[in-house]
């Protein structure tokens, strides 16, 4: 059973919604699963500013500990839309016959902007045990799950370190648990996403060694997914959801300076939404790091997705061959972009 999570609109957002010219009298329920990360910002903004309601949609935002946990409720139809990493578990579910489609970007690492950081316990640095990434050999780390979107980053790290994967002990652990395990000494290093990584750095528990983009300069770390029956039987709602989502992502991009940091009144407004919807309630946390890139036109890095599939295949995480072209459904995004036009940053 899914736990419903709803949010009240702020006065300004409610007023904007009521002023919209084409509000549906009755709203259609849509369930959306998110990992409750800062890069869920596009969905949060679309909800907070009434964009989903303007499209006639009553969107329930449901937090999940990982994308892998979203697959079963998507298969049963309890979830219509999900946001998460394109993992081996997702691809295995699809090749078993579960109809789940990649329909748009959620977030990607680009040069200067990434959602993950390689962090190591501070005491290991202070003792001199770890001076460079080569010193991670023989230590213990954690991945969210074998074949998660972080797996490719770990493979790139091991190559950069010049070691074999079996020369590092890897255990499976959710991202919140990783931060706690670093604090307790249960693991030695990890690559948790922001804002958790930056919060741990600010607390003085860990030291950053690398940003994720230094391992993979362009990496499609998370995508938007539609459940198959929602995509076919409720295609009009799928199109309207996409239009609202892209509007939310564009508002977020409008709030950033050229370095990807929040700036001015628009930045303050987006941070207010993140504080309300996101996992951290201190605005300073969201100002302490640069978010991964959320594409204002929803475009996917197809080369990155294929490279991840190749790595999962090499590591024998995939049960059957994966044809990426059969998993993509860009019709919803194409429709939304025809309605909205290409992104132009607002002044």
**Is-contact 242 330, C-beta < 8 A?**
no
Tell me what pLDDT residue 321 has: 96
Q: What is the pTM of this model?
A: 0.87
Tell me what pLDDT residue 253 has: 97
String of DSSP letters for 108-150 = EEBTTB-SBEEEEEHHHHHTTS-SSGGGGTT-EEEESSTTSHH
Q: Residue 5: is its pLDDT beyond 80?
A: no
Distance CA 307, CA 303 (A): 6
How does pLDDT run across 317-333, given as a tens digit for each residue?
999 999 999 999 999 99
Phi/psi at 336 (5° precision): -60, -40
Distance CA 124, CA 286 (A): 27
How does pLDDT run across 7-54, given as a tens digit for each residue?
433 333 333 333 444 444 699 999 999 988 889 999 999 999 999 999
Top-confidence range, 133-137, 231-235, 311-315:
231-235
Q: Residue 187: is its pLDDT beyond 60?
A: yes
Tell me what pLDDT residue 203 has: 86
Tell me what pLDDT residue 146 has: 81
Greater model confidence, 335 or 116 = 335
Confidence of residue 271 (pLDDT cuts 50, 70, 90): very high
Tell me what pLDDT residue 17 has: 39
Tell me what pLDDT residue 9 has: 37
Average pLDDT over residues 56-79: 93
User: Count H helices, E strands: the chain?
Assistant: 16, 10
Q: Where are any strands of DSSP class E within the chain? A: 28-34, 57-63, 81-84, 100-109, 117-121, 140-143, 169-172, 189-190, 206-211, 219-227
- Pick from 263, 243, 241, 242: which is nearest to 252 by CA? 263
User: What is the greatest pairwise CA distance in the chain?
Assistant: 65
How does pLDDT run across 195-223, given as a tens digit for each residue?
788 888 888 989 999 999 999 999 999 99
Tell me what pLDDT residue 279 has: 81
Pairing of strands 169-172, 140-143: parallel
Percentage of residues of the chain with pLDDT beyond 90: 71
Confidence of residue 175 (pLDDT cuts 50, 70, 90): confident
Distance CA 46, CA 280 (A): 19
Give the helix, strand, coil percentages of the chain, each rounded to 5. Answer: 45, 20, 35
For residue 225, the cross-strand partners are 82, 102
CATH numbers and ranges of domains, the chain: 11-16+24-109+219-340 (3.40.190.10), 117-214 (3.40.190.10)
Tokens representing residue 79 in the block: 């979830």
Average pLDDT over residues 137-157: 88
Tell me what pLDDT residue 25 has: 62
């Amino acid at each position: 059973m899914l736990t419903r999570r709803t949010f009240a609109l702020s006065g300004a957002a409610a007023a904007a919604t009521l002023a919209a010219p084409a509000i549906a009298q009755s709203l259609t329920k849509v369930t959306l699963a998110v990992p409750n990360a800062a890069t869920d910002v596009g969905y949060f903004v679309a909800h907070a500013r009434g964009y989903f309601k303007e499209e006639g949609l009553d969107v329930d935002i449901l937090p999940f500990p990982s994308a892998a946990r979203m697959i079963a409720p998507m298969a049963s139809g309890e979830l219509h839309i999900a946001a998460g990493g394109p993992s081996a578990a997702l691809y295995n579910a699809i090749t078993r016959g579960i109809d789940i489609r990649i329909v748009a970007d959620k977030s990607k690492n680009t040069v200067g902007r990434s959602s993950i950081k390689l962090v190591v316990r501070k005491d290991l640095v202070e003792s001199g045990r770890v001076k460079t990434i080569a010193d991670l050999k023989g230590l213990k780390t954690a991945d969210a799950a074998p074949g998660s979107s972080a797996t490719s980053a770990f493979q790139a790290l091991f190559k950069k370190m010049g070691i074999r994967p079996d020369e590092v002990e890897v255990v499976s652990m959710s991202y919140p648990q990783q931060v706690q395990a670093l604090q307790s000494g249960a693991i030695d290093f990890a690559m948790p996403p922001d804002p958790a990584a930056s919060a741990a750095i600010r607390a003085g528990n860990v030291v950053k060694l690398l940003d994720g983009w230094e391992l993979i300069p362009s990496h499609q770390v998370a995508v938007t997914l539609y459940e198959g029956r929602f995509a076919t039987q409720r295609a009009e709602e799928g199109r309207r959801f996409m239009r609202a989502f892209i509007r939310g992502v564009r508002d977020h991009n409008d709030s950033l300076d050229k370095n990807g940091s929040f700036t001015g009144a628009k930045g303050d407004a987006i941070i207010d939404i993140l504080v309300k919807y996101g996992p951290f309630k201190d605005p300073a946390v969201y100002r302490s790091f640069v978010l991964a890139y959320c594409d204002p036109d929803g475009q996917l890095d197809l080369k990155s997705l294929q490279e991840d599939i190749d790595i999962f295949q090499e590591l024998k995480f995939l049960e059957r061959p994966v044809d990426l072209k059969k998993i993509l459904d860009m019709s919803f995004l194409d429709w939304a972009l025809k309605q909205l036009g290409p992104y132009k940053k607002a002044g």
